[in-house]
Amino acid sequence: MILELDTHGGAPIYRQIMEQIRRHVLTDQLPAGHRMESVKSLAARLKVNPMTVSKAYGFLVEEGVLERQRGVGLFVSAMRADTRRRKQDRLLGSVLHQAAVLAVQLQIPEDEALRQLSAHYQRLQAQSKTDQSS
CA–chain centroid gap for 75, Å, is 16
- The pLDDT of residue 2 is 85
> What DSSP state is assigned to residue 134?
-
Residue burial 13-39, b: 16+ Cβ < 10 Å; e: rest: bbebbbebbbebbbeeebeeebebbeb
> Domain coordinates of the chain in residue numbers?
13-76, 81-133
134 pLDDT exceeds 80?
no
pTM score of the predicted model: 0.75
pLDDT digits (tens, 9 = 90+) for 19-70: 999 999 998 899 999 999 999 999 999 999 999 999 999 999 999 999 999 9
Over range 10-15, report the average pLDDT.
Answer: 94
With a pLDDT cut of 90, the percent of the chain lying above it is 75
| C-beta of residue 69 within 8 angstroms of C-beta of residue 63 | no
The domain 13-76 is placed in CATH, from the list 1.20.140.10, 3.40.50.150, 3.20.20.70, 1.10.10.10, at 1.10.10.10
- The pLDDT of residue 133 is 76
pLDDT digits (tens, 9 = 90+) for 59-101: 999 999 999 999 999 999 998 889 889 988 998 999 999 999 9
